[in-house]
Amino acid sequence: MSLFQQSIELPFADPFLKLYPHHALAAGILQNNEHILPLLLTDYVQLVYDKDVQRMDFSVSLYIQSYIKHIPLTFQSLVPREIVEHGYKNPVEFIRTSLEHGYYVYCIVDTYYIGAYQKCYHMHHMLHDMAIYGYDKKTREYHVADCFVDGKYKREIISEKELKDGLEIAYDKDWLDGFVLLKYNENPYRGITYDIEWIKKEIDNYLNGEPSGWVTISEYRRRIPWLYVYGIEVYDALEEYLEEKEKKREVLDLRLPAALLEHKKVMLKIAEQLHETGRLEAVSEVREVFEELMEMAKNMELLMAKYNTADGGGLSALKELVRNIQAKDIAAMTLFQENIKDQAFRIIEGTSAEVKSLEEDRNTGGNWKEEYGSQGYHVVGAEKQLPEYVAQDGYIIRNAVCVLLKMYVEEENVLFYNRQDNRRVQAYYLSAETFYIHICLADKDRHKISFYFLDYDRLQREQTVEVIHAGTGQVIDRKLLSDFHKGVYLSYEVMGAIILKITKINGPDAVISGVFWD
């Protein structure tokens, strides 16, 4: 990558975590690939409330500097401002160079100089942490993201002058101690899954109001136990907070219900991902209670906003709502915990299936876009776009771990990342013995479903692939796969519900790299 190219924009998603910039930073970098989210969300079960500053956050991230250092699948570097000033004409040149080398930049700016911060621009000097993920040399503009207006996180474009002026702050005011650089690890070589025993333990801690997670040496304040409240007990602290504010007639902080809302979003995301990998039962019931809690948190925010107006009235209804949310939360987290369990082969009684085996394909390799996936696809380690006729909760991969080897490779046998992107991702679902893919089609039509297998590392894998009637357990088709280091597609014409069973015969494990619908 040549220095100072005309423009660069690193991938940065619209994050589903938006309350605090450091959460949005991690989600923005990682959320483009949902296979990676377990690495981030595993430590997001526990909530903590800081009674001293009256702030609620996920326990893993209360101390921002420590959190950023542990954002998964990223390399992080901290470059002090004095080093930047000695090595570059100005900080903007340093930021451009960092972006050119694939680094996201996270730094403190003075919002007085940046127009996107509408309530501070040329009115108030307030320092805030902002992410920078791209620039355009021709227009001299930069792609940035932060909570610019009313605490709402969004992506914006600002001028080079705004950025340069905003970076002129005193060293002792910079709580990040310089510029944080983050680079996506393109060659992770690791398995990614949720540790369900850890998740259940964290839910226990949440329900019992016990501290959990790790606390770094630098988080000295977290070692003063009476300053912090954990898990379900944050609701008791919220009631105390409301009583105090009512007595003093002070404005309520709308970030508190927003933190509860984000927590339920995360719990729902974890629940759905556990279900998709066959590790959660009763997903409909779990989904319903978390969605109800999300609505209750939104109502709490509306009542707090109303109170902040001149005709706000008292807080009795709000305090009652907090108690109701607490009771619902206990029930929801208990239900969630009780239904987290590993599942393997399972018959779905009452379902039908018709299957016809089609010709195998050893020629297309990773160049699937013209031949496969016209109606939907799942490229393991990259993107999943299911067709509408796949039933809700009707695509489950059981007893397998997603393994990411390399995110960007050029080998022709490696699958393209998605339909629009020419990058290729080297990844597979893997099991040491046997794993299953459950597919339920909701319509009454026949559809072509193709499965792509690739022995990337030439470990002489040999495996059987069986298509099973999901309603009876009868084996409809069985194939023995060997010598597939160049890649092979097995295709079937399917109506109804099937289970694909992949079993290791020789080699270290059994694998699959993609599923395509046409």
Please state the domain extents for the chain: 7-32+74-184, 196-338, 353-517
Residue 49 — very low, low, confident or very high, per pLDDT cuts 50/70/90?
Answer: very high
Per the CB < 8 A criterion, the answer to whether 500 and 425 are in contact is no
Write the CA distances from 86 to 80, 92, 93, integer angstroms. 10, 13, 12
Residues 314-353 have pLDDT tens digits of 799 999 999 999 999 999 999 999 999 887 667 777 789 9
How far apart (Å, rounded) are the C-alpha atoms in residues 186 and 73?
8
How far apart (Å, rounded) are the C-alpha atoms in residues 48 and 56?
6
CB 364: neighbour CB atoms within 10 A?
Answer: 18
Kind of pairing, strands 55-58 and 152-159?
A: unpaired
Residues 99-122 have pLDDT tens digits of 999 999 999 999 999 999 999 999
Residues 366-420 have pLDDT tens digits of 999 999 999 999 999 999 999 999 988 899 999 999 999 998 899 999 999 999 9
pLDDT of 57 strictly over 80 = yes
Per the CB < 8 A criterion, the answer to whether 77 and 34 are in contact is no
**Residue 218 confidence (pLDDT):** 52
Q: For residue 500, what is the DSSP state?
A: E
**Residue 66 confidence (pLDDT):** 81
Residue 266 — very low, low, confident or very high, per pLDDT cuts 50/70/90?
Answer: very high
pLDDT of 153 strictly over 50 = yes
Q: Mean pLDDT over residues 268-296, rounded?
A: 96
Residue 217 — very low, low, confident or very high, per pLDDT cuts 50/70/90?
Answer: very low
- Residue in 412, 51, 452 with CA at minimum distance from that of residue 233: 51
CATH of 353-517, one of 3.40.50, 2.60.40, 3.30.1360, 2.60.120: 2.60.120
Percent of the chain with pLDDT over 90: 83
**Residue 216 confidence (pLDDT):** 53
**Residue 312 confidence (pLDDT):** 59
pLDDT of 257 strictly over 80 = yes
Which amino acid is present at 56? M
Q: Mean pLDDT over residues 261-274, rounded?
A: 97
CA 91, 92, 97, 98 torsion: positive or negative? positive
Two tokens, residue 326: 């607490």
36: Cα separation from own chain's centroid: 7
**Residue 1 confidence (pLDDT):** 42
Average predicted confidence (pLDDT) for the chain: 92
Residues 185-201 have pLDDT tens digits of 989 999 999 999 999 99
CATH of 7-32+74-184, one of 3.30.70, 3.90.70, 1.10.287, 3.40.50: 3.90.70
**Residue 60 confidence (pLDDT):** 85
Residues 229-250 have pLDDT tens digits of 999 999 999 999 999 999 998 9
Per the CB < 8 A criterion, the answer to whether 405 and 382 are in contact is no
- Report the half-sphere exposure of 513 (CA within 13 A, side-chain side): 28
How far apart (Å, rounded) are the C-alpha atoms in residues 144 and 106?
10
pTM of the model: 0.93
